[in-house]
């Protein structure tokens, strides 16, 4: 047996199977307006948006090592941009959503320049301060409702589509599209050279730096891109809610605590993790939400226990047990005449 | 004159913020841990004070005698029972565990005490004031500031003139070798957290006398403490006092310009200092 | 008093999945000075870390004064009278010279060594007692590290590569002071890369090679050839 007999591949049987299954699931989901009820579609739409938020937070924290407890800054920013651009700027809602992303990218640049001066947990709290600044700032803008917020005018809502059923389908498809876009973008990014650099930084920053990887620039890029997409998701979220206020837009609980729990429970630093985490989170929510504060305490306890006992999350447990990778990222060496790689 | 009054009030407010920050600073200095639940622990102390004063009718300041040791014990158990397991090279576990702890504390307090704002009754102390030249100073703010001075002086003295402080510094320098000196690092970390929460208890009681509080304000107190630490510079408790004062003055002066701008002004000053002096004004360690 | 102060039986040591020591057998007799020699990476410092409790050990692999200390924490081992002068000095930067010495006495054992005794041994340290410990020269830091270990009044003192990074004349001075340091009743293990120095102060020598004991001999009778073979693992 010579070295030529060995081959290197990214894919695996499991990845191929799940790709096919994933495509089937996607087709089913696209067809949801025809088989799902209104409430179910709303729930699924919310799930997709949380999945997108979780995947983005995971990219920043799990891969770039930038743990933010302030992403609500961009969720709220995107929401307010939707309202501002449609109500005051006369833009069509879909155009406003896209623009919210661009504006999110722009504003994240000076923010990043400031808070990148902090490291580790201090960086995290710094992101929270930024979110508070945004919240207090937007509460001062009376044109957007000031401290009590505002509702999206009927005319703008109708500009999406005149019939309510059509609007709901459109909202749903936008949410599904956003989730697919984000997960695909994250996957493709991690497959690319930049993504490899990011994984290197995550594994050993010092070593990565000595190999010539520009750490600051890579992290900066990830922060800007994540914030832009988070802003877009924020715009979508508040398009669904039809009403915005500073406290709702910049809520730590809704946009950071829940997202963090999703990622921690699902599995940080993996693409599959946020997907699993979102499903588990919504399952828990549907069964426990009546308990109010107890539900949140349970979430907190579960997150702590997971972090201490299973820091790689549910997907991490599955992966270490079965050596699975559904989104082919790592390389495997296939020995000749063998099914599984080394 | 009004401006001078605002600056003086801000300075005194800085004393409270320095108390918020002192515990945070101590823990980071000894074990490089930033406790996201720190603000919620301040609120917990306020609620403990409330329970004690409601149950026994004693004055909130007297309640300190019970609340401070209780919080100290909570700190020791918390550190040895939970937080010691998160220490290591990875920054995710302590951050996420203390974040989870914050959520648990907030909602636990909500369950027990509801969301209604509460306040402790300190009687005449709350409104008493005295004149200093043209200024009128409240007794409570002045007392708070003096307490902050004493606490910080006490912490500095502990750190640099006692064997416990020596142990803190040794363990923070080099955990392995400190163990060779017979220091049980888990115990030392527990003592550090106990001390930090004892200080936090003082901050909580003074907060609870001064303003009304509810379970959700923990995050805000954490941020004020954090801003005071960063403005002042890491690793320097007197710097933290200075940072608290700057923050307090920024807030009161901002409030004079427009009441809605009070907290925002503090954040803006923080961001400006972060931009031009990222290591703070009197740093001993880089951020 | 058992006939060994330290008894190491079949000791394995691991860093994660990597095995650094393989079945090491070693003993230290009371009052003797034992030398441990070996090339870089042979496992000498790993051995020291295992003995002092900084590494996890299997049961009964390390016996001190006849009692099994294998599963004790490092601070518990230190309380029993084992002290180490660590490789690279490893003084506490936040502590002054005096404070570094004081913290050595944290274990609270009584004996001839106190601050004054250390200052008598190394007078320069008294002059610099309030200076930050890491602002001293290499040789002076080594004195502080040795003094810090002595302040614990140990029964067994471990010296891990004390000549590393020091000028030859400083090394000579320190080794000249060793008999005063290792007084009556104290036992010592000296880990050294400088074979001549190690042999000159010790009564017995062990050589480690790739995690295994490759030689055990009396220091005054061992030959150069035996050492070369054991050191480099050449047969």
**Tens digit of each residue's pLDDT (9 = 90 or more) over A216-240:** 888 899 999 999 999 999 999 999 8
Residues 105-124 of C with CB under 8 A from B: 106-108
pLDDT tens per residue, range A324-336: 677 777 677 776 6
A14-18 average pLDDT score? 80
Q: What is the pLDDT of residue A322?
A: 78
Compare all CA atoms of chain B with the CA of C52 and give the residue at the minimum distance. Answer: B180
Between chains, do B226 and A294 touch, taking CB under 8 Å as contact? no
**Which one has a higher pLDDT value, B166 or C228?**
B166
Q: Determine the 3-state secondary structure of B136 from DSSP.
A: strand
List chain C residues with CB under 8 Å of B184. 73, 75
List chain C residues with CB under 8 Å of B167. 103, 106
Sequence-distant contacts of B30-33: CB under 8 A, at least 24 apart: B30/B168, B30/B171, B30/B172, B30/B188, B30/B189, B30/B192, B31/B87, B31/B171, B31/B172, B31/B189, B31/B192, B32/B172, B33/A121, B33/B83, B33/B86, B33/B87, B33/B94, B33/B98
Between chains, do B34 and A125 touch, taking CB under 8 Å as contact? yes
Say which residues have a Cβ less than 8 Å from residue C224's Cβ, sequence separation at least 6: none
Residue C45, judged by CB atoms within 10 A of its CB (0-12, 13-18, 19+), counts as buried
Between chains, do B103 and A308 touch, taking CB under 8 Å as contact? no
Closest chain B C-alpha to C69 CA, distance in angstroms: 14
d(C-alpha A333, C-alpha A335), whole Å: 6
Q: What is the pLDDT of residue B287?
A: 41
Q: Determine phi and psi for A151, rounding to 5 degrees.
A: -105, 150
Name the nearest CA neighbour of A256 among A97, A60, A94, A114. A60
Q: Which of B103, B222, B270 sits opposite A296 (nearest CB)?
A: B103
A339: pLDDT confidence band, cut at 50, 70 and 90? Answer: very low
Name the nearest CA neighbour of C74 among B126, B261, B185. B185
Global pTM? 0.89
- Neighbour count for residue B181 (Cβ, 10 Å): 28
The mean of the pLDDT values for chain C is 90
Cβ pairs bridging B and C (under 8 Å): 66
pLDDT tens per residue, range B65-93: 999 999 999 999 999 999 999 988 788 89
A340: pLDDT confidence band, cut at 50, 70 and 90? Answer: very low
Between chains, do B177 and C86 touch, taking CB under 8 Å as contact? yes
Asked if the model's pLDDT at residue B46 lies above 70, the reply is yes
**Which one has a higher pLDDT value, A231 or C200?**
A231
**Pair A286, B97: CB distance under 8 Å:** no
**Pair A179, A49: CB distance under 8 Å:** yes
Between chains, do B86 and A121 touch, taking CB under 8 Å as contact? no
Residues 179-208 of C with CB under 8 A from B: none
Sheet strand arrangement including C156-160: C82-85, C156-160, C187-192, C33-38, C204-209, C212-218
List chain B residues with CB under 8 Å of C152. 181-182
Is C15 at the interface with chain B, CB within 8 A?
Answer: no
B229-246 average pLDDT score? 92
Q: What is the pLDDT of residue A342?
A: 41
**Which one has a higher pLDDT value, B99 or C232?**
B99
Between chains, do C75 and B163 touch, taking CB under 8 Å as contact? no
Q: For chain A, where are the alpha helices, taking DSSP H only? A: 13-30, 32-35, 38-58, 72-83, 93-115, 120-139, 154-160, 164-191, 193-203, 205-210, 215-241, 246-249, 252, 258-266, 272-288, 293-309, 313-322
**Pair A134, A231: CB distance under 8 Å:** no
Q: Which of B99, B110, B274 sits opposite A260 (nearest CB)?
A: B99
To probe the interface with C, which of B180, B188, B189, B284 has the most C CB atoms within 10 Å? Answer: B180
**Pair B252, B7: CB distance under 8 Å:** yes
CATH of C6-89+155-232 among 3.20.20.70, 3.40.50.300, 1.20.120.1730, 1.10.3860.10: 3.40.50.300
Q: What is the pLDDT of residue B181?
A: 93
Lowest average pLDDT, out of B107-116, B177-186, B276-285, C112-121, goes to B276-285
List chain C residues with CB under 8 Å of B177. 86, 90, 92
Subunit partners of chain B (3 or more CB pairs within 8 A) = A, C
Instruction: Give the ipTM.
Output: 0.90
Residue B217 CA from chain centroid, whole number: 13
Q: Which of C90, C102, C108 sits opposite B177 (nearest CB)?
A: C90
List chain B residues with CB under 8 Å of A258. none
Q: Determine phi and psi for C15, rounding to 5 degrees.
A: -110, 95
Between chains, do C102 and B176 touch, taking CB under 8 Å as contact? no
The mean of the pLDDT values for chain B is 92
Q: What is the pLDDT of residue A14?
A: 76
List chain B residues with CB under 8 Å of A122. 34, 226, 230, 287
Closest chain C C-alpha to B79 CA, distance in angstroms: 19
Closest chain B C-alpha to C47 CA, distance in angstroms: 15
**Which one has a higher pLDDT value, A210 or A126?**
A126
**Which one has a higher pLDDT value, A290 or A119?**
A119
Between chains, do B92 and A307 touch, taking CB under 8 Å as contact? yes
Name the nearest CA neighbour of C189 among C11, C3, C35. C35
Chains B and A touch (3+ CB pairs under 8 A): yes
Is B180 at the interface with chain C, CB within 8 A?
Answer: yes
Asked if the model's pLDDT at residue A8 lies above 80, the reply is no
B254-270 average pLDDT score? 92
Q: Determine the 3-state secondary structure of B160 from DSSP.
A: helix
């Amino acid at each position: 047996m010579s070295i030529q007999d060995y081959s290197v591949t990214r894919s695996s049987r499991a990845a191929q199977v799940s790709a096919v299954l994933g495509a089937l699931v996607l087709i089913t989901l696209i067809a949801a307006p025809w088989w799902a009820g209104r409430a179910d579609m709303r729930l699924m739409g919310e799930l997709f948006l949380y999945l997108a938020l979780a995947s983005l937070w995971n990219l920043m924290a799990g891969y770039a090592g930038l743990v933010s407890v302030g992403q609500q800054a961009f969720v709220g920013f995107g929401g307010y941009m939707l309202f501002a651009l449609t109500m005051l700027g006369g833009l069509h809602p879909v155009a406003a959503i896209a623009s919210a992303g661009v504006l999110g990218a722009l504003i994240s640049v000076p923010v990043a320049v400031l808070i990148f001066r902090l490291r580790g947990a201090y960086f995290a709290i710094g992101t929270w301060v930024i979110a508070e600044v945004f919240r207090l700032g937007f509460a001062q803008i009376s044109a957007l409702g000031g401290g009590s917020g505002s509702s999206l005018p009927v005319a703008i809502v109708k500009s999406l589509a005149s019939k309510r059923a059509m609007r709901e389908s459109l909202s749903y498809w936008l949410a599904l599209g956003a989730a697919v876009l984000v997960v695909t973008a994250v996957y493709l990014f991690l497959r690319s050279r930049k993504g490899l650099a990011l994984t290197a930084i995550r594994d050993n920053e010092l070593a990565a730096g000595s190999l010539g990887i520009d750490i600051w620039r890579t992290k900066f890029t990830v922060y800007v891109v994540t914030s832009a997409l988070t802003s877009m998701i924020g715009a979508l979220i508040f398009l669904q809610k039809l009403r915005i206020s500073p406290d709702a837009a910049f809520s730590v609980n809704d946009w950071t605590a829940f997202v963090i729990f999703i990622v921690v429970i699902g599995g940080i630093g993996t693409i599959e993790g946020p997907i699993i985490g979102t499903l588990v989170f919504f399952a828990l929510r549907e069964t426990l939400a009546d308990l109010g504060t107890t539900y949140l305490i349970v979430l907190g306890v579960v997150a702590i226990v997971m972090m201490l006992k299973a820091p790689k999350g549910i997907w991490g447990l599955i992966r270490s047990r079965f050596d699975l990778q559904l989104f082919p990222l790592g390389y495997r060496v296939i020995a000749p005449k063998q099914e599984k790689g080394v | 004159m009004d401006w001078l009054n605002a600056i003086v009030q801000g300075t005194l407010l800085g004393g409270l913020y320095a108390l918020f920050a002192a515990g945070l600073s101590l823990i980071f200095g000894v074990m490089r841990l930033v406790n996201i639940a720190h603000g919620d622990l301040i609120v917990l102390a306020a609620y403990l004070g409330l329970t004690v004063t409601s149950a026994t009718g004693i004055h909130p300041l007297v309640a300190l005698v019970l609340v401070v040791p209780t919080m100290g014990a909570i700190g020791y158990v918390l550190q040895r029972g939970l937080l010691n397991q998160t220490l290591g090279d990875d920054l995710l576990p302590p951050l996420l565990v203390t974040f989870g702890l914050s959520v648990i504390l907030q909602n636990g307090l909500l369950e027990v005490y509801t969301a209604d704002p509460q306040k402790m009754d300190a009687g005449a102390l709350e409104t008493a004031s005295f004149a200093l030249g043209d200024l009128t100073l409240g007794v409570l703010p002045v007392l708070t500031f003096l307490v902050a001075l004493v606490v910080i002086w006490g912490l500095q003295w502990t750190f640099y003139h006692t064997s416990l402080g020596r142990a803190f510094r040794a363990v923070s320098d080099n955990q392995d070798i400190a163990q060779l000196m017979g220091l049980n690092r888990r115990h030392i970390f527990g003592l550090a957290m106990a001390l930090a929460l004892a200080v936090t208890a003082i901050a909580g009681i003074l907060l609870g006398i001064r303003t009304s509080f509810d379970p959700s304000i923990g995050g805000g107190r954490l941020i004020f403490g954090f801003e005071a630490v960063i403005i002042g510079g890491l690793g320097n408790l007197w710097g933290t006092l200075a940072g608290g004062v700057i923050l307090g003055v920024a807030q009161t002066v901002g409030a004079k310009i427009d009441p809605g701008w009070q907290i925002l002004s503090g954040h803006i000053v923080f961001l400006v200092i972060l931009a031009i002096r990222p290591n703070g004004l009197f740093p001993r360690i880089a951020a | 008093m058992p006939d060994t102060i330290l008894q190491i039986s079949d000791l394995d040591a691991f860093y994660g999945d990597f095995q650094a020591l393989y079945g090491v057998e070693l003993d230290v007799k009371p009052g003797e000075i034992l030398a441990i020699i070996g090339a870089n990476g042979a496992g000498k410092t790993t051995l020291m870390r295992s003995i002092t409790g900084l590494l996890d050990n299997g049961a009964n692999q390390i016996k001190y004064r006849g009692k099994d200390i294998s599963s004790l924490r490092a601070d518990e081992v230190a309380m029993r009278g084992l002290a180490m002068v660590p490789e690279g000095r490893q003084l506490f930067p936040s502590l002054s010279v005096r404070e570094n010495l004081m913290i050595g006495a944290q274990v609270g054992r009584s004996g001839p060594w106190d601050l004054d005794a250390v200052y008598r041994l190394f007078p320069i340290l008294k002059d610099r007692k309030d200076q930050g410990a890491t602002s001293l020269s290499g040789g002076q830091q080594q004195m502080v590290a040795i003094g810090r270990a002595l302040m614990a009044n140990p029964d067994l003192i471990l010296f891990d590569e004390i000549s590393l990074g020091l000028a030859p004349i400083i090394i000579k001075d320190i080794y000249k002071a060793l008999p005063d340091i290792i007084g009556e009743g104290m036992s010592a293990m000296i880990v050294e890369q400088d074979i001549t120095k190690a042999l000159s102060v010790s009564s017995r020598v062990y050589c480690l090679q790739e995690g295994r004991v490759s030689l055990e001999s009396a220091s005054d009778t061992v030959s150069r050839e035996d050492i070369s073979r054991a050191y480099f693992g050449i047969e």
